Chains A and B, each alone.
Chain A
């Protein structure tokens, strides 16, 4: 990896130098020997799919969590911050996606909170408001500083946060996905603030999922994948395609399974049929047929609309246009209980947030979805529960000392298997898997991938959402590509390979 480090420009010197940073969480290496440097007066994009380690890197850098090994040089001196406050005092400020300001205070109060200008021991409101207005003027932000912050859109709030950080003598600014909830005009406003800061010699770390924006604003790009450093690149020397491929990765891990036998599913009956099906702001209306027995891939970058489509099909969100047919029967209103009754099951992407019932046992976590499908009054007898749980603990090789173990205590990979077991226990005809191997160790990852193929061979219909292209191309018969909340391509089974998927994901932006 060392050969990928780029030559430093003569004028600029690194303000931050991170070397061999490693951070291990139970069951997963969040950062594995990551090195990068940040130059004075540059906008440095930090990219990678979810779980790549971007947030962990920032959290370690700004003192939210300690690192296990490695060094940070700040202004050429060894530094390790023990809290975000310490980092801030040293000049490293972070502005998060969710603005952490006080929405109920005025703009001026937010900028000066904790360091209000005083006159005779009391707050000098006049000076505070004047100073705040002047500060914002400098960045071309025209707002009434005496208004409550909550009356302004998120973009303004974010810029207020940035201005506040800058005013507290920041030398390095970390922007964690600042643009994810902004519209195009607001993004441009933010970028003009960023450019101005850059001219003043500020170094900016810019985390985002939006590739277009990176090309617009960033000087250099550092890519992380699965906690590993992939490389730092000059933006103008890295093509769109190459960026996507470095983010998603092409190295084959020990993917043992051979591809499914080539069966043509086009004559098979539809299990799901979507006509003009979509929801505003989630996914543009689309037509799609999912055939019985096939593995349909849903590929695209994060935020492209892939999870949103799956949630609409399962009925967690309601579509506002089009119709859905399940087994050729039109369903007026899909909702999760109904979906399960119709033979659908959903393993969500965010295991902690949407998957596990942390306080409950493995057994309870496995049986609950099946129990909900047969109703609350008819409780599954204890012996049957144990039999069911045992069956899946064995067949999915879930490593646990007992069925009564709290699921919290398991590793990520084993938790994922329990969630999979919960879905399988409902005996579904179609399984929706949203990033089934994200953020888990390589061992469990391979096991889960094998399991997907085994289920497919046994005739299960699977809708597989994944950012791992090798996973998609190894498992899927057909692949739907989504980009910017729109279906942009359908690859039939002869066309399914990594480079074709990658092309479709990247192309959308260049058309």
Chain B
């Protein structure tokens, strides 16, 4: 039974990310007192675990879009900038007295346009994905600054702040947003044939023609989804700090999203999209950050600690390395 479960997890590439996440949890359990303690305060749940989940939302949502793009053999390095644009649109509109829903809808529309732009460049015009999305990565923050007039726009709307800071049924509201986005995308990918075509196009683009699959449309949609998920993340980021910070919002987040995807088992060479793995990867990255702070690691070496942990995890995932080990073990046995 356990063996079957392990096999299944291996098949779905969930094994190694899960092992990594569990080990971080174990380390925390022994080294940080009350890490797993959850207390009820004012009817809300509080604790390190809840905190990690809450803070992971931004990365999880962004990484799911990234996973689809990477599965097409692509990459979208503009997601951090798109998040900044989205936050800028929403905050500026709220600040100007527009209704909340209009502001959110406009922000998501603009993010979608960003995705369409990337999709046009990469899927329709055949521009190298890294270069194609680099354009928006650079110009996105410029657009965001243009929208906010170069200022950090702060909002006082309690309703807007609720997105990232509010609680529903005792849980952070952002968890519900994350769950909703995950379910909608999973539904689209797995309950329609989109996922099949996506993975086919990522595995062997030239074979799609003979199978009658329009690869460029499929890849285009992946970039559009990535734009929208980046936009949702942008809303959460700005809602959390109740302000649109065009320069710092989502800064370097694209790299975390790529990392979460890769840790989750999706190959940069395209093919399978492991959305479940990506979520675990994102949780893992957030856990390290939180753990490093909780353990009181001096700030000047936090980045190095993070890097070391990530090196270990990526090495764990390397088939090549594991094969080397098993060969070593075999040769040891032979010599004995």
Contacts and interface: CB of A to CB of B under 8 A. Distances in A.
Interface in B178-221: 191-194, 196-197, 199-200, 202-204, 206-207, 209-214
A346 B214 contact: no
A339 B212 CA distance: 8
Most buried by B among A337, A356, A364, A372: A372
A340 B207 CA distance: 14
Interface in B274-308: none
Contact of A358 (B203, B209, B211, B213): B203
Contact of B272 (A340, A347, A355, A359): A359
A348 B272 contact: no
Q: Using C-beta atoms within 8 Å of the partner chain, give the interface range for chain A.
A: 20 to 34
Contacts of A422: 211
B271 interface: yes
A369 interface: yes
A356 B196 contact: no
Contacts of B193: 371-372, 375-380
Interface string A345-371: 011100001111111100010011101
Contact of B211 (A359, A369, A375, A379): A369
A66 interface: no
A377 B203 contact: no
Contacts of B194: 376
Contact of B210 (A316, A373, A376, A378): A316
Interface in A387-437: 422, 426
B203 A372 contact: no
Contacts of A316: 209-210
A356 B206 CA distance: 10
A368 B196 contact: yes
B203 A368 contact: no
B192 A368 contact: no
A371 B197 CA distance: 9
Given A356-B204, A357-B203, A372 B197 contact: yes
Contact of B207 (A337, A356, A377): A356
A14 interface: no
A303 interface: no
Contact of A357 (B191, B207, B214): B207
A340 B200 CA distance: 17
A347 B209 CA distance: 11
A201 interface: no
A336 interface: yes
Nearest to B271: A359
A372 B217 CA distance: 12
A447 B204 CA distance: 27
Most buried by A among B192, B199, B212: B212
Given A360-B200, A376-B197, A379-B193, A353 B206 contact: yes
Most buried by A among B192, B197, B211, B214: B211
Contact of A359 (B192, B203, B209, B213): B203
A311 to B, nearest CB: 9
A337 B214 CA distance: 8
Given A376-B192, A379-B192, A355 B210 contact: yes
Given A348-B207, A380-B193, A369 B199 contact: no
Contacts of A358: 203-204, 271
B210 A357 contact: no
A372 B211 contact: yes
9 contacts: A336-B210, A354-B207, A355-B207, A357-B203, A360-B196, A360-B203, A371-B197, A378-B193, A379-B193
Interface of B: 191-194, 196-197, 199-200, 202-204, 206-207, 209-214, 271-272
